[in-house]
Amino acid sequence: MLRAGIRRLDGVIYTHYHVDHILGMDDLRSLNIINKKSIPIFASQDTLQIIKRVFAYAFSDQAYVSEVPRILPNVIDSDPFEIKGIKIIPVPLLHGKLPVNGYRIGQFAYCTDVSEIPDNSYGLLEDLDILVIGALRYESHPTHFTVAEAVQEAQKISAKQTYFTHLSHRISHADAEKSLPQNVHLAYDGLQITLD
């Protein structure tokens, strides 16, 4: 966020409650201070319950000497919702046996930590300009797509451009890029995507 010069967030959307996806919430404090307001967060009921447990101090009425994240929790389900007039469509996915959400915003979809896309979710992923999807490693994994599985899903969804994310250290960026289809790439730190 520092490198990208982000000084304001209109909302934070959570895919699921695993710690690598929620533990950055304390970093919202600086944006609370800069903007002098709370930040809305959006999550499923299950995810919000875990966030409230892990970050109990952020939901407490107790006074603290130091700053705590100031957030406005919003429970989402399968219905589309809006942030500042932008429509966001939850896309049900499976992360092993755990139901998680991907999200579609216009012609862009973000689907990380996924090992299976339910049949009824493919319709929510049609006609995409950009798909970001998880591809953990080359070897099989019980809760994540492998690179080969992610390539197969990317071809099935057929977005104009696909970027793989949630990559392990076992993937060499340079070597993997050479082996991917022309419209499939590895995401990288500092990648910027502009949406209409």
CATH of the domain at 93: 3.60.15.10
The last residue of a domain, from among 76, 108, 139: 76
Q: How many domains does the chain have?
A: 2
User: Residue 166: is it exposed, middle or buried by C-beta count within 10 angstroms (0-12/13-18/19+)?
Assistant: buried
- SS3 string, the chain, reads CCCCCCCCCCCEECCCCCHHHHHHHHHHHHHHHHHCCCEEEEECHHHHHHHHHHCHHHHCCCCCCCCCCCEEEEECCCCCEEECCEEEEEEEEEECCEEEEEEEECCEEEECCCCECCHHHHHHHCCCCEEEEECCECCCCCCCCEHHHHHHHHHHHCCCEEEEECCCCCCCHHHHHHHCCCCEEECCCCCCCCCC
Both 50 and 72 in a single domain?
yes
Both 49 and 91 in a single domain?
no
Both 16 and 45 in a single domain?
yes
The last residue of a domain, from among 19, 51, 76: 76
Both 105 and 33 in a single domain?
no
Q: Is this structure's pTM higher than 0.85?
A: yes
Question: What tens digit of pLDDT does each residue of 63-73 get?
Answer: 776 788 999 99
Q: Which domain holds residue 105?
A: 82-196
Residues 96-107: what's their mean pLDDT? 98
Question: What tens digit of pLDDT does each residue of 146-181 get?
Answer: 999 999 999 999 999 999 999 999 999 999 999 999
Both 97 and 146 in a single domain?
yes
Both 61 and 93 in a single domain?
no
Question: What tens digit of pLDDT does each residue of 111-130 get?
Answer: 999 999 999 999 999 999 99
Residues 76-87: what's their mean pLDDT? 97
